[in-house]
Structure 1
Amino acid sequence: MANGEAKVAKERIEAVEPEKNLITFRVIEGDLMKEYKSFLITIQVTPKHGGPGSIVHWHLEYEKISDEVAHPETLLQFCVEVSKEIDEHLLSEE
């Protein structure tokens, strides 16, 4: 798939662990499923020590359909954008 091309994904929440500020999604339908057998996204937020703000860790666990399929680097910008949206949402609730 070309860079910058819009993609569609439907995901299911697999796990929510509020005490760890962690949520896991499994992609179950959409464009990613054309290239990957499985795709799991875990987001964990850790408050920064000694200062305001938090650190967001994204863990992408996937199995490619074949060796020809590229690693999902194109999703990195998506992760950045979603992290910014979460940040804006949380700041608006303070």
Structure 2
Amino acid sequence: MGLCGKRVAQVDIKCNADVFLGLFRYRPNNLSKIAPDHILGCQLVEGEWGAIGSKVIWNYKIDGKLLSSKQVLEAADEKNKSITYTPLEGDAMLQIYKSLKAHIHFTENGENNFVTWTLEYEKINEDVPDPDALIDLAYKVTKVVELHLLK
């Protein structure tokens, strides 16, 4: 078992990938209204919404625990429909990793649209669990957002 790893969740969605990308890049603060059981808030603390280098504080819930993470929007590619967030500081779960990066990639193929979440991470030691709870949260939020956008 290595210290570096990757977790991937590909979620089939029925809504427009551009709308999805716009929400996660430019309006993540709306996610707390759409998925309040999972996302409690997203506050801009530096820069402008959607700008590379902007920093936000996410408040979210995993397994009933209230958690928080300050993240930077590290990369965004409108053409390839992808964004990357990197945590800077936050809850105890994020502090057990030397590095953690979340890539969100949107693909459209006719009626088949997908959101692919990829978490790349490096643990501080072998005893640290893989970030399965985070990838599960990403899956759940994606499905809730999809239902909201289809209304």
Which of 1 and 2 has higher RCO (CA within 8 Å, sep 6+)? Answer: 2
TM-score normalised over the length of structure 2? 0.52
In the alignment, structure 2 segments of 5+ residues that lack a partner are 1-61
5 Å-filtered alignment, 1:16-35, equals 16-31=76-91, 32-35=93-96
5 Å-filtered alignment, 1:12-51, equals 12-31=72-91, 32-49=93-110, 51=111
Residue 57 of structure 1: aligned partner: 116
Once superposed, what is the RMSD of the aligned Cα atoms? 2.0
Shift in Å, 1:8: 1.4
CA contact (8 A) 2:73 2:84 kept: yes
Structure 1 residues 64-73 or 81-90, which shifts more?
A: 81-90
Normalized per residue, the structure richer in strand is: 2
Provide the rounded CA distance (Å) in 2 between the counterparts of 1:13 and 1:82.
18
Q: Work out the percentage of aligned pairs sharing the same amino acid.
A: 33
1:9 aligns with 2:69: yes
In the alignment, structure 1 segments of 5+ residues that lack a partner are none
Provide the rounded CA distance (Å) in 2 between the counterparts of 1:10 and 1:86.
22
Q: Which runs of 4+ in 1 moved over 3 A?
A: 88-92
**How many corresponding residue pairs?**
88
Residue 130 of structure 2: aligned partner: 71
Provide the rounded CA distance (Å) in 1 between the counterparts of 2:68 and 2:84.
18
TM-score normalised over the length of structure 1? 0.79
